[in-house]
Amino acid sequence: MVFYKSQEEIEKIRNSSLIVAKALAEVAKVIKIGVSTKYLDKIAEEFILDNGAVPAFKGYRGFPATLCVSINEEVVHGIPGNRVIENGDIVSVDCGVLKEGYYGDSAYTFSLGNVNPEVQKLLEITKESLYKAIDVAVHGKRLGDIGFEVQTHVEKHGFSVVRDLVGHGIGKNLHEKPNVLNYGQRGNGMLLKEGLVIAIEPMINLGTYKIVEQRDKWTIKTMDNKPSAHFEHTIAVGRNNADILSSFKFIEDVLNLKNN
C-alpha cells in the first residue's frame, strides 16, 4: 500500500534527508585517490551518529555498513572495505539515515582524478536525468512520466537505463511502495498525488543495461564491466512542483572549494 505523508511527516523526512546530504558532504571532504572505501564509511557513520540519527543501511537485510560505495562498473550496493580509490575512478556513494521514525536516502557519484571524458559525461547526464524526472514529480502526473524523462534523456546520449533496480517510496520505511522505475511511458502508471514521498534514483550505464550480482551477494555490477553512474534524491510530490528533501548543495560546495 502507498502511504501519503502529512507536511509534519515530510519535515521529518527532510530532516533525515539533510543529515544524509551533510554526511555525503563529509565524504566529499575526505574522498581522494588513495583513500579506502571503509574510511569513507567511518566518516559518514560518525557524522550520522553525532547528529542523533541512525545509519539506515547498516543491518538492513544484513548489509554490514553505513554507506554503499560502488566503484566504476559497480552499479550499487558495494560494501566498503580495503579497496583504495584510484586515479580515474568514479565512486557512487549511497547513504540513508533514520531519525525520529523517518528515513532519508540520497546518493552521489564522485569523479576522482583524470576521469575519461565519456565517463564524466555519463555522470553529468545521469544527474541531469534525475532533475528532469523531479520536474515532472508533481500532483496529477504519473509514475511513467518520471521514468520517461530519465530514459529519454539518457538514451538520447547513448547511455542505458538499469531495469532491475528502481527507486521507491520512503517514509517510516526505507523502501515503500511504489517502485519508481527509471524507464517508462508518458501518462502511464500510478497517479502522483500531493504527499507522496519517493526516492528517485537513476542508475545509468555506459554500455549494456544488464547487470549481475557479485559473489558477495550485495555488489551489483554491469554485465559488460563498463562504468555505471547513480544519483538519488528523496522528494515530496507537491501541487505545482516537487519539494527536494535531500540536497547536493553541501556536497558541491565542498567539491567546488577543493577544485579552486
Name the residues that contact Mg ion, by CB under 5 A: 94, 105, 107, 199, 232
If the CB atoms of residues 26 and 94 are measured against Mg ion, the closer one turns out to be: 94
Longest dimension (CA), the chain: 48
CA distance 39 to 19: 19
Q: Smallest distance from the beta carbon of 58 to Mg ion, in angstroms? A: 13
Side by side, which strands form the sheet with 220-222? 74-76, 220-222, 211-213
For residue 118, the minimal CB distance to Mg ion (Å) is: 25
Q: Identify which of residues 40 and 87 has a Cβ nearer to Mg ion in the complex.
A: 40
| Cis before 55 (ω within 30) | no
In whole angstroms, give the CA distance from residue 178 to residue 2. Answer: 6
Residue 259 exposed, middle or buried by CB count within 10 Å (0-12, 13-18, 19+): exposed
Query: Residue 9 or residue 94: which is nearer to Mg ion going by CB?
Result: 94
* Residue 107 or 245 with smaller CB distance to Mg ion: 107
Q: Which is nearer to Mg ion, 157 or 175 (CB)?
A: 175
Beta carbon of residue 166, minimum distance to Mg ion (angstroms, whole number):
9
Shortest reach from residue 260's CB to Mg ion, in Å:
29
Residue (5 or 118) nearer to Mg ion, CB: 5
Rounded CA gap, 52 and 99, in Å? 7
Q: How far apart are CA 160 and CA 224, in angstroms?
A: 12
DSSP string, 112-142: -SS--HHHHHHHHHHHHHHHHHHHT-BTT-B
Phi/psi of residue 71, each to 5°?
-105, 135
Closest separation in Å from C-beta 211 to Mg ion: 16
From the CB of 105, what's the least distance to Mg ion, in Å? Answer: 4
Supply 106's cell numbers.
Answer: 540520497
CB of 186 to Mg ion, least distance (A): 24
Task: Tell me whether residue 45 or residue 94 sits nearer to Mg ion (CB atom).
Answer: 94
* Torsions phi, psi for 187 (to 5 deg): 80, 0
